[in-house]
């Protein structure tokens, strides 16, 4: 592949990589044929996994699990070897939770991020807002060097259009005012929500509760994003939500990038 040709990126919160493997993950990976495939909430250490997940033809794989077993963690499959890797953000408060894995390529950084959930009663809101501020600073520093693509489960629906029942959720985790205000700040600083660059229609979601038959009724939230630094907007070619792919309570999202 030529360095300047269009690349395909995928991000997916799999809600447990061992669970999604049983639902056809490896076939999905090959079928989507992404150049870089970022997973969040893997809930496993690599040594707990079969070779069918740790050694996949055509891909290098990089792991950043949480220290706590069965919790959080991210991993990234990439056809091309990166020139450098950054595990975490060099902030001890966050890095034990396995939330941020960055692959550096010749002309861009791919930041795979699993943002904290604010939790019922907003019990972890302060921690989440601290993480949000820190990752914003982190990607700003990277963007001084080259293009930054940040993807993953941001655990926030930004606008009323981004969830089925905004009024009912105004005090709930993922749609509380402080979380939305941070997203206003992040997008307001110039980062591009790539899906909304192409699609301004309602009823496009990336997460559905397992309860209430929510996915069949499309009662969902759009909380997974590909965002790109403001100086690199011209490189964005297309973005989509792949809601025809099952296996998790989230669906994958894609970005075509030049």
Indicate whether 99 belongs to any domain. yes
> Which residue's entry shows tokens 């929500």?
193
Indicate whether 40 belongs to any domain. yes
Indicate whether 179 belongs to any domain. yes
**DSSP tag of 70:** T
Give the residue numbers annotated as catalytic, written as ranges: 153
> Which residue's entry shows tokens 């038959």?
213
Question: Using an 8 Å Cβ cutoff, are 6 and 258 in contact?
Answer: yes
**24-66: pLDDT as tens digits:** 999 999 999 999 999 999 999 999 999 999 999 999 999 999 9
User: 5: pLDDT confidence band, cut at 50, 70 and 90?
Assistant: confident
**102-158: pLDDT as tens digits:** 999 999 999 999 999 999 999 999 999 999 999 999 999 999 999 999 999 999 999
Indicate whether 65 belongs to any domain. yes
Q: Which of 177, 203, 155 is nearest to 195 (CA)?
A: 203
Query: How many angstroms separate the Cα of 148 from the Cα of each of 8, 231, 248?
Result: 15, 9, 27
**197-234: pLDDT as tens digits:** 999 999 999 999 999 999 999 999 999 999 999 999 99
Q: Which domain holds residue 179?
A: 7-257
Give the total number of structural domains in the chain. Answer: 1
Return the percentage of the chain with pLDDT > 90, whole number.
98
Indicate whether 26 belongs to any domain. yes
Q: Which of 158, 60, 155 is nearest to 110 (CA)?
A: 60
Question: Using an 8 Å Cβ cutoff, are 174 and 157 in contact?
Answer: yes
Indicate whether 2 belongs to any domain. no
Please tell me the predicted confidence (pLDDT) of residue 1. Answer: 40
CATH number of the CATH domain containing 248 = 3.60.10.10
Indicate whether 1 belongs to any domain. no
Indicate whether 119 belongs to any domain. yes
Q: Please state the pTM of the whole predicted model.
A: 0.97
**182-201: pLDDT as tens digits:** 999 999 999 999 999 999 99
* Strands ordered across the beta sheet of 147-153: 84-87, 100-104, 108-114, 147-153, 224-228, 192-193
* Strands ordered across the beta sheet of 36-40: 60-64, 74-78, 36-40, 7-13, 253-257, 236-241
Report the SS3 class of residue 27: helix
**71-92: pLDDT as tens digits:** 999 999 999 999 999 999 999 9
| β-bridge partners, 257 | 7, 236
Rounded CA-CA distance 214/231 in Å is 38
């Amino acid at each position: 592949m030529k360095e300047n040709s269009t690349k395909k990126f995928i991000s997916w919160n799999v809600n447990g990589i061992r669970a999604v493997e049983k639902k056809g993950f490896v076939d999905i990976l090959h079928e989507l044929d992404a150049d870089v495939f970022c997973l969040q909430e893997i809930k496993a250490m690599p040594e707990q996994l079969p070779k069918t997940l740790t050694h996949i033809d055509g891909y290098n794989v990089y792991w950043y699990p949480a220290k706590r077993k069965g919790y959080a963690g991210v991993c990234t499959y990439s056809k091309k070897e990166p020139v450098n890797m950054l595990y975490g953000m060099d902030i001890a408060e966050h890095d034990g939770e396995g939330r941020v894995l960055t692959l550096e390529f010749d002309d861009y950084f791919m930041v795979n991020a699993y943002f904290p959930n604010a939790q019922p009663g907003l019990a972890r809101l302060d921690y989440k807002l601290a993480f949000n501020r820190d990752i914003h600073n982190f990607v700003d520093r990277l963007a001084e060097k080259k293009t930054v693509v940040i993807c993953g489960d941001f655990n926030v629906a930004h606008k009323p259009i981004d969830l089925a029942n905004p009024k009912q959720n105004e005090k709930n985790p993922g749609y509380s005012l402080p979380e939305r205000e941070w997203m206003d700040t992040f997008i307001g600083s110039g980062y591009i929500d790539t899906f909304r660059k192409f699609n301004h229609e309602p009823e496009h979601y990336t997460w559905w509760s397992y309860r209430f038959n929510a996915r069949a009724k499309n009662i969902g939230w759009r909380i997974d994003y590909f965002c790109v630094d403001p100086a690199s907007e011209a490189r964005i070619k297309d973005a989509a939500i792949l809601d025809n792919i099952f296996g998790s309570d989230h669906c994958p999202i894609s970005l075509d990038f030049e």
